[in-house]
Chain A
Amino acid sequence: MISLSDFLIVSAGLFCIGLFVTLTKRNAIQILIGIELMLNAAILNLIAFGKYDRFTNSGQTFALFAIVLAAATTAVALAIILNVYKKYKTIDPDKTDQLKD
């Protein structure tokens, strides 16, 4: 059997990769992918721990919720990105900084 910490290490790695993608990419869609990676790392954690809850299945159920929520956030985020693109003709988050000051 695979131990819990193995899953958690993979999850931690995935999370840090997601973090890096989110922080460095110059494209909103890639940032979104980074966020999805981080979310997936969290879901992996939920599921790994969910193994110890056979009766109420809280881990798996909330993993489900998280996946569904990710879908919702993506839909809204993409809609926002499309609008940003329409307005600024770019999806580079560094260039859409009119809210500064």
Chain B
Amino acid sequence: MTMVQAMFYLMGFITLASGLFIAISKNLVRSVFMFFVTLMALAGLYVLALADFIAITQIVVYVGGILVLIVFAFMLSGRETLANLQQQQSKFIRIKKLPAILLAVLFFIVMINVLFKTNFDGLPWIQQAIAQKNTIGTNDAMIGNIGVGLMTHYLLPFEAISILLMMALVGAAHISRKEKGI
């Protein structure tokens, strides 16, 4: 087992374990902060998947942006209700949750089933990519490539996303604005 593999298993374990903690935790605040751990571990996984730029973007956007936003939001939505919410969940396995657990587990089984059925190295497009040396190596710096790609090949989605972001910002600001009289 090399160091990289060890790191992978560690990161994968942390990801899944913290995810499970989120799922079963009674304490909302802790589950939010545990989400932070999940995100950091995922960033680690991205690095191991040779996407360092994405990993850092993940930290900037998710940790620096989304997570802080979420924490902000529940801090704004009042402590009393939060306390109520925290109390009402008493047990992990409750009869109400059983269908959800069943569904999730079945989904997992289906996906794993598909995964094990597939021979990834035999897929034609992967073989083709390997043959054409179209795979990312450990020492490749992809930022330049991604940057050029964003401005040329993916310009249309890039622009569309920027417009969408703009609209989302304006929309969010509009929705959460204090209205007079209500």
Contacts and interface: CB of A to CB of B under 8 A. Distances in A.
Given A83-B176, A89-B81, A54 B157 contact: no
Interface string B71-89: 0111011100100010011
A23 B77 contact: no
Contacts of B66: 36, 70-71, 74
B134 A53 contact: yes
Contact of B107 (A1, A16, A67): A16
A12 B108 contact: yes
Contact of A92 (B39, B61, B85, B104): B85
Nearest to B140: A54
Nearest to A49: B126
Given A27-B28, A33-B70, A5 B108 contact: no
A16 B109 CA distance: 10
Given A7-B45, A8-B115, A89-B81, A75 B172 contact: yes
Range, interface on chain A: 35 or more
A90 B157 contact: no
A100 B149 CA distance: 47
A82 B69 CA distance: 12
A20 B65 CA distance: 24
A13 B108 contact: yes
Given A5-B115, A17-B16, A64-B54, A74 B42 contact: no
A96 interface: no
Contacts of B46: 44, 47
A58 to B, nearest CB: 8
A91 B81 contact: yes
B8 A6 contact: yes
A13 B139 CA distance: 29
Given A9-B112, A17-B16, A52-B129, A72 B49 contact: no
Given A47-B54, A71-B61, A71-B65, A60 B142 contact: yes
Given A20-B23, A53-B129, A65 B12 contact: no
Contacts of B8: 2, 6
Most buried by A among B19, B48, B111, B126: B19
Contacts of B112: 9, 12
A44 B89 CA distance: 31
A38 B111 CA distance: 14
B104 A72 contact: no
Interface string A28-51: 011011101100100110011011
B140 A26 contact: no
